[in-house]
Amino acid sequence: MYALTIDNLTKTYDNGFDALKGISFSVQEGDFFALLGPNGAGKSTTLGIISTLVNKSQGNVSVFGWDIDTHARMAKQYLGLVPQEINFNQFEKVEDILITQAGFYGYSRHRAKTQAHTVLQQLGLWQKRRDRSRDLSGGMKRRLMIARALMHQPRLLILDEPTAGVDIELRHSMWHFLQQLNEEGTTIILTTHYLEEAEQLCKHIAIIDEGKIVRDSDMRSLLNEINQETFVIYLKNSLTETPDVPEFALNLIDEHTLEAVVLEGQNLNTLFQCLTDIGLEVVSLKNKSNRLEQLFLRLVKEDGR
Amino acid sequence: MDAEPRYGFTQIAMALYTIVYREIHRFLRIWVQTILPPAITMTLYFVIFGSLIGSRIGQMDGFDYMDYIVPGIIMMAVINSSYANVVSSFYGAKFQKHIEEMLVSPMPLTIILTGYVIGGVARGLLVGLVVTLTSLIFTDLNIQYPLLTFAVVLLTAILFSLAGFINGIYANSFDDISIVPTFVLTPLTYLGGVFYSISLLPGFWQKVSHLNPILYMVNAFRYGILGVSDISIPTALGIILIVIALLFSYCLHLLHIGYGIRT
């Protein structure tokens, strides 16, 4: 079953800007789906339309089979939204925000309170439950946004850049939490500018650029399309010029650092062997850039041509 | 597809209760800003216009001036408070964007509107009650028609809560939520027969006064308390009900098209 189906969706704003030019894609139930794109590509507009905060111009959207136009109430029950901007009442207490949110979904105050306690503990906000939301740190506000979206136990969770501006430790703990949530059956749609995040978490990916979907596939096959990778290699030896290794394109960055391009079909063992043969000892290596990032830039560039 | 709807009457009632609870809790939490100021202002009206100036004016429509202005002053407090509650709360929700919490939920738009209106009515009636109790320091209130009195004050609070909602939808800044009360509501209230009987006005201005909807509310309320009015009560009630129906429909229309809240 599809958790989300989008068919030929268009959006033209009042100023004439075509934010979406007939996009179509589907998200399977249980998927962890990344919707990526540069700024202004149409990601937030798409999520806004799904959550009914943005009026669409044309096309159809259905959530678990329920059309958002004809069966909005049914569709909305399945949906949890974590928007990009902090949008809770800054004067309310953390616990009250959660209880109120559940109330909008028809929860009694007693039931909402029980659910709030569960979610607060899951997201590490229990100690802050009686604090005013405006007094929370940036990371805690982000977690509160997620907690609020989970209050009615949605089957489809939409996260619009949930880790923007969050420190690395918290980002990793949020990744862990979201992965767990997904494993428990919640379908997740994520937009992010951290491509490492998408690569780490998501099973499927759609790339949107200038209001069009330029790629929609599963993560594994997308990454398989990468036909070369660039590695930064740290050497024990000191070099004055780029070593001559005909099999690989090498570039000397500084006396202890080399850059090596490994093409599809080549492997790192061969590279290490070649370096060892000429007396070089590798201390460590890393990817020059994230693999998905390389692909993303290529696809967006191709679309722009 | 889940064939069984989970968001039925009980859930809708709970959603409405949630908004009403939040709205009432909000204005009670900041009672120093919401309840106390109108009580102080209206007490000053009683002292200055009722006691000091009123003693020189004498009688109006057969009543002491203090007795005559009490219904109008209570009504003025109800009008201002119910309007202010909805416009500030709804615009605040728009400004902080937490209006989106409600818009993404399955709650019907009618419930959102009703919840805000009940919040406005609650504050209007509470302030009205406080001002009424304050007025007892200055005069004895012998309410002639209690049911009519309550009906008029309730309908007036509903009407101005709806008006406040429209202002909240159209407002794009905090300035916009004070323009209407300052330049429209206050003049109409003062010219709506709070402090005088329109029979004192020349014929032309009496006719002009009939275009002021607040005149009907103040007079219907005064009739409920004192038993005297410048206008016909059925006409007043009819006009109030028609205006409420028009405003309610317009509010729902604005919500449906998403004016100011959806892009």
Residue A18's identity, in one-letter code, is: D
- The reply to whether A13 and A26 lie within a common domain is yes
Please provide the distance, in angstroms rounded to a whole number, between the alpha carbons at the two ends of chain B.
Answer: 30
Query: CB A90 to CB B96 under 8 A?
Result: yes
B262: in domain:
no
**Which one of A170, A197, A223 terminates a domain?**
A223
CA distances from B85 to A141, B162, B237, B260 (A): 27, 11, 24, 19
Q: How many angstroms separate the CA atoms of B57 and A228, rounded?
A: 95
B136: in domain:
yes
- CATH number reported for the structural domain that contains residue A298 in this entry: 3.30.70.1560
CA distances from B189 to A1, B38, B47, B203 (A): 60, 15, 19, 20
Q: How many angstroms separate the CA atoms of A15 and A24, rounded?
A: 24
Instruction: List the single range of A290-299, B61-70, B246-255 with lowest mean pLDDT.
Output: A290-299
- The reply to whether A31 and A48 lie within a common domain is yes
- The reply to whether A180 and A258 lie within a common domain is no
Mean pLDDT, chain A, whole residue set? 89
Tell me the nearest-neighbour CA distance from B97 into chain A, angstroms: 5
Query: Which domain range does residue B101 map to?
Result: 9-257
Q: Is the pLDDT confidence value at B257 over 70?
A: yes
**CA dihedral for B127, B128, B132, B133, sign (positive or negative):** negative
Element (H, E) at A107: none
Query: CB A107 to CB B14 under 8 A?
Result: yes
B263: in domain:
no
- Say whether the ipTM exceeds 0.90: no
Query: How many of the other CB atoms lie within 10 Å of CB of B251?
Result: 25
- The reply to whether A212 and A232 lie within a common domain is no
- The reply to whether A146 and A281 lie within a common domain is no
Of B17, B103, B106, the CB nearest to A105: B106
- The reply to whether A150 and A238 lie within a common domain is no
- The answer to whether B106 touches B9, Cβ cutoff 8 Å, is no
Structure tokens belonging to residue A282: 């590798």
- The reply to whether A24 and A64 lie within a common domain is yes
B-facing residues of A in 182-201 (CB < 8 A) are: none
Q: Is the pLDDT confidence value at B22 over 50?
A: yes
Query: Which domain range does residue A121 map to?
Result: 2-223
Q: How many angstroms separate the CA atoms of B247 and A297, rounded?
A: 52
**pLDDT recorded at residue B121:** 98
Please provide the distance, in angstroms rounded to a whole number, between the alpha carbons at the two ends of chain A.
Answer: 36
pLDDT digit string (tens) for A139-161?
899 999 999 999 999 999 999 98
Closest of A165, A216, A174, A224 to residue A193, by C-alpha: A165
Tell me the nearest-neighbour CA distance from B104 into chain A, angstroms: 6
Query: CB A89 to CB B96 under 8 A?
Result: yes
Tell me the nearest-neighbour CA distance from A120 into chain B, angstroms: 18
> What band does A245 get if pLDDT is binned at 50, 70 and 90?
confident
**pLDDT recorded at residue B2:** 46
B110: in domain:
yes
- The reply to whether A184 and A283 lie within a common domain is no
- The answer to whether A42 touches A59, Cβ cutoff 8 Å, is no
Mean pLDDT of the A265-293 span? 84
Q: How many domains does chain B have?
A: 1
**Which one of A175, A192, A223 terminates a domain?**
A223
Residues in B closer than 8 angstroms to A107, CB to CB, are 14
Mean pLDDT of the A90-110 span? 94
pLDDT digit string (tens) for A40-73?
889 999 999 999 999 999 999 999 999 999 999 9
> What band does A187 get if pLDDT is binned at 50, 70 and 90?
very high
Q: What is the DSSP letter of B53?
A: I
B169: in domain:
yes
CA distances from A131 to A140, A145, A261, B28 (A): 11, 15, 52, 19
B1: in domain:
no
- The reply to whether A196 and A293 lie within a common domain is no
Q: Is the pLDDT confidence value at A289 over 50?
A: yes
> What band does B140 get if pLDDT is binned at 50, 70 and 90?
confident
pLDDT digit string (tens) for B147-190?
999 999 999 999 999 999 999 999 999 989 988 888 988 889 88
Q: How many angstroms separate the CA atoms of A84 and A149, rounded?
A: 13
- Contact of B7 with chain A, judged by CB distance below 8 Å, is answered with yes
**Which one of A200, A223, A246 terminates a domain?**
A223
Of A77, A100, A108, the CB nearest to B22: A100
B19: in domain:
yes
- The reply to whether A231 and A175 lie within a common domain is no
Q: How many domains does chain A have?
A: 2
- CATH number reported for the structural domain that contains residue A134 in this entry: 3.40.50.300
**pLDDT recorded at residue A303:** 62
Structure tokens belonging to residue A56: 């669409």
Q: Is the pLDDT confidence value at A305 over 70?
A: no
Query: CB B14 to CB A89 under 8 A?
Result: no
Identify the residue with better confidence: B231 or B125.
Answer: B125
- The reply to whether A86 and A214 lie within a common domain is yes
Closest of A118, A119, A122, A147 to residue A133, by C-alpha: A147
Sequence-separated (6 or more) residues with CB below 8 Å from residue A61: A4, A5, A6, A7, A9, A49, A50, A67, A68, A69
Query: CB A104 to CB B15 under 8 A?
Result: yes
Q: How far is CA A293 from the centre of its chain?
A: 13
- The reply to whether A207 and A295 lie within a common domain is no
SS3 state at B175? coil
